[in-house]
Amino acid sequence: MPTHYRACNLCEAICGLAIEHEDGKILSIRGDEQDPLSRGHICPKAVALQDVYEDPDRLKYPVRRTANGWERIGWEEAFDEVATNLRKVQEKHGPDAVGAYFGNPNVHNLGSMLFSGAFSKALGTKNRFSATSADQLPHHVAALTMFGHGLLLPVPDVSRTHFLLIIGANPLVSNGSMMTAPGFARHMKGIQERGGKVVVVDPRRTETAGKADTHYFIRPGRDALMLLALIHTVLKEELVELRHLKDIVTGLDEVEKIAAGFSPETAAPLVGIKADDIRRLAREFAQAPSAVCYGRMGASTQPFGGLCQWLINVFNILTGNLDREGGAMFTRPAFDQVGFTGSQGKTGIFGRRRTRVSGLPEYSGEFPVAALAEEILTPGEGRIRAMVTVAGNPVLSTPNGNLLDEALAGLEFMVAIDIYINETSRHANIILPTTTGLETEHYDVIFHLLAVHNTAKYSPPLFEKEPEQRHDWQIFQALTERLSGQAGNNMQPGPMLDFALRSGPYKLSLKQLIAEPHGIDLGPLQPCLPGRLFTPDKRIPLAPDIFVQDISRLKAKMGSWKKVTSGDFPFGLIGRRQLRSNNSWMHNAYRLVKGKERCTLLIHPDDAERVGVEEGQEVRVVSAAGAIEIKAELSSEMMPGVVSIPHGWGHSREGVMMNVARAHPGASINDLTENSRIDALTGNAAFSGVPVRVEPVSPALR
């Protein structure tokens, strides 16, 4: 029985898979025990590779929306019509009248990573958006300003650390996010077995917090204040140890001045953690043999996400835990994007331009997606009148989904490159579906860059595509040719990948990777500073101006936090990661949605009693942006005053042609998020801590 080895590309963990198959049918999917990164770990999402491949709802050929429904058209006709209509809008209204949105799955696909850039350039618009600004943008801004490159991202060395501080993350479920750590439970157990400690700070006692040594509840959106109190303690108690970075770190005096005003006693009543606990946490972290602080979605998607990611870096540096075994380290991937682009000195320019309506800053050629709806709806020069969406569903995944839904419905033209007719692509005039998963070759360009161990792995396609299907890179090439008016160069992913590997630090070749189907072990993370820095002076500025200036905004907000008032919206709403879900399209895989209903509102029993809600009741959750109805699930894992809804649900809109998802619709948390609710520093969407109220809408289920 033949076995196909590949890396799963459904989430950040890139687990190695062993897929048994026969006569074009998949017989089993299990973890590849010989994969040097995942070592046999697998999560339930892996079966979705088979489910998506076999899904009868998946599009395989271009379709056009008509008054009588969707009709199949030929590829050449579709390409011509798309290019003609996009250019027609630009000729009438200017090049920026076309907008483009790239969803999260693009970074999981080799073809898109290699060919979407040329397509974007040919499109010729400045109005580009992506899922980055609904997720990890603060990480990139902190990396750019401190280390000189937006992709020079510190990764927790979880294999060797003795103290792991996790802020707003749930890696037992995600297996890492901006930290590729498949089988995270194994790493967490290893820390504890060597006498180390895991501490989680989160408004919810997550799956990770439940297995940690210590968990602290924190009020949503106030992590920056806690981090400043930790830094205050380290400085005041003379626990600073810069180690080998002492000659390349600048701005320590400025950090001392800032932190002086944020004692644990100042922070404690506002964050909900006792001053003694903050002080103890700082001491234990600084005095551990090695330690690393890691903050993710809860720390990034909030009004002070930029400050959080800056302060996490500062905390790791001051305690001697940057670029050190067991601390926050930098990868050395075989496909080295940082090495390729860093020497240019202009990678990821931040704030060169601003959005037309709200003035949000650009990062690396993209505007914050929180501005997308208003850029479509607001009249004036530069208004977006046509859209291209690529492997994304922003109606469910970006702020104020109802407003964006309304905006997309009024466009002059829209094309979606997508495999489903979903909440976003239903507005398209034409949908161009790509091959997916098992029909494609794969090398993970991004998540090797974020891995806790250096490896390289190439996955050939398991199944041949049907003659009339097109790979994503073929679609990008065809549209690029038509939009640019120039003949394509007929490049394919394989030779481009081979060139990148040969140019990388290990001088590998694609042929070598093909000969090693389980992947190649390139060794643990290694110290690399200052050589890996791309700052102009090869130093690390601890106090970049943009962060120092943003402290005044935090201080102003502290004044309102001190006012004890419930107001119209007494609860703070947070999201939650689920093991069987990552992107909205996974809800069309029955094996990932069957069983107990998982799109529920988690609420503390005391809060539920106060608002008259019982287990299983239908409740209305109301915010300044709108309202949704959802079942209540009482849980003491929630911090009192905080409620939680998972992201990616809300499949009840008309015209969606995903039958399994429509049978398990849930409700969209992003219908409650105002598009004006952002981190003002970076422009990142601030999903965490949205003020809401909860009220029953049906009798209790007794």
Contact in structure between 105 and 49 (CB atoms under 8 Å): no
CATH code, 63-135+338-523: 3.40.50.740
CATH code, 154-329+534-546: 3.40.228.10
| 331 backbone φψ class: left, alpha, beta (φ>0; ψ -120 to 50) | beta
- Write out pLDDT tens, residues 415-473: 999 999 999 999 999 999 999 989 999 999 999 999 999 999 999 999 999 999 999 99
CA–CA distance, 353 with 367 (Å, rounded to integer): 9
Q: Would you state the pLDDT for residue 343?
A: 57
Other residues' Cβ atoms within 10 Å of the Cβ of residue 616: 15
Contact in structure between 129 and 684 (CB atoms under 8 Å): no
- Write out pLDDT tens, residues 228-251: 999 999 999 999 999 999 999 999
φ, ψ dihedrals at 535, nearest 5°:
-70, 150
CA–CA distance, 647 with 688 (Å, rounded to integer): 11
Domain with CATH 3.30.200.210 in the chain: 3-54
Give the pairing type, strands 63-66 and 69-72.
antiparallel
Torsion of CA 422, 426, 430, 436, to 10 degrees: 0
Can you read off the two tokens belonging to residue 696?
Answer: 């029953």
- Write out pLDDT tens, residues 548-598: 999 999 999 998 898 766 688 999 999 998 887 878 888 998 988 888 899
Mean pLDDT of 135-144: 97
Give first-to-last CA distance, the chain, whole Å. 53
Over 60: is that where the pLDDT of 285 sits? Answer: yes
Q: At what angle do helices 223-236 and 305-318 cross, to 10 degrees?
A: 20
Q: Would you state the pLDDT for residue 700?
A: 53
- The DSSP annotation for 519-577 comes to -EEEES----TTTT--STTS-EESS-HHHHHHHHHHHHHHHHHTS----S--EEEE---
CB neighbour list of residue 280: distance below 8 Å, 6 or more residues apart: none
Percent of the chain surpassing pLDDT 90: 89
Domain with CATH 3.40.228.10 in the chain: 154-329+534-546
CA–CA distance, 478 with 78 (Å, rounded to integer): 10
Radius of gyration of the chain (CA): 24
Q: Would you state the pLDDT for residue 347?
A: 46
CA distances from 288 to 161, 164, 195, 226 (A): 9, 10, 10, 19
Q: Which residues of 260-294 are buried (b: 16+ CB within 10 A; e: fewer)?
A: eebbbebbbebbbbebeebbebbeebbebebbbbb
Q: At what angle do helices 305-318 and 137-147 cross, to 10 degrees?
A: 50
Contact in structure between 384 and 127 (CB atoms under 8 Å): yes
Over 80: is that where the pLDDT of 513 sits? Answer: yes
Give the pairing type, strands 642-644 and 571-574.
parallel
Over 60: is that where the pLDDT of 56 sits? Answer: yes
Q: Categorize the per-residue pLDDT at 147 as very low, low, confident or very high, splitting at 50, 70 and 90.
A: very high
φ, ψ dihedrals at 690, nearest 5°:
-60, 125
Q: Would you state the pLDDT for residue 579?
A: 80
φ, ψ dihedrals at 232, nearest 5°:
-55, -45
Q: Which residues of 400-412 are buried (b: 16+ CB within 10 A; e: fewer)?
A: bbbbbbebbeebb
CB neighbour list of residue 535: distance below 8 Å, 6 or more residues apart: 146, 147, 148, 541
Domain with CATH 2.40.40.20 in the chain: 565-696
Q: Residue 430 pairs with which residues in a beta bridge?
A: 64, 415
Q: Would you state the pLDDT for residue 567?
A: 80
3-class secondary-structure state, position 98? strand
Least confident of 345-359, 387-401, 493-507: 345-359
Report the mean per-residue pLDDT for the chain: 95
CA–CA distance, 313 with 295 (Å, rounded to integer): 10
- Write out pLDDT tens, residues 630-657: 999 999 999 999 999 999 999 999 999 9
Among 398, 374, 403, 356, residue whose Cα is nearest residue 624:
403
Over 50: is that where the pLDDT of 680 sits? Answer: yes
Single-letter residue type at 62 = P
- Write out pLDDT tens, residues 330-375: 999 999 999 887 755 444 589 999 999 999 999 999 999 999 999 9
Q: Categorize the per-residue pLDDT at 180 as very low, low, confident or very high, splitting at 50, 70 and 90.
A: very high
CA–CA distance, 489 with 655 (Å, rounded to integer): 38
Residue linked to tokens 């791309």: 534
> Is the backbone peptide bond immediately before 530 cis, with ω within 30 degrees of 0?
yes
Q: Would you state the pLDDT for residue 562?
A: 82
CA atoms lying within 13 Å on the CB side of residue 275: 9
Q: Would you state the pLDDT for residue 46?
A: 87
Can you read off the two tokens belonging to residue 43?
Answer: 């999560």
What topology is assigned to 3-54 in CATH?
Answer: Phosphorylase Kinase; domain 1 (3.30.200)
What topology is assigned to 565-696 in CATH?
Answer: Barwin-like endoglucanases (2.40.40)
Contact in structure between 614 and 701 (CB atoms under 8 Å): yes
| 391 backbone φψ class: left, alpha, beta (φ>0; ψ -120 to 50) | left
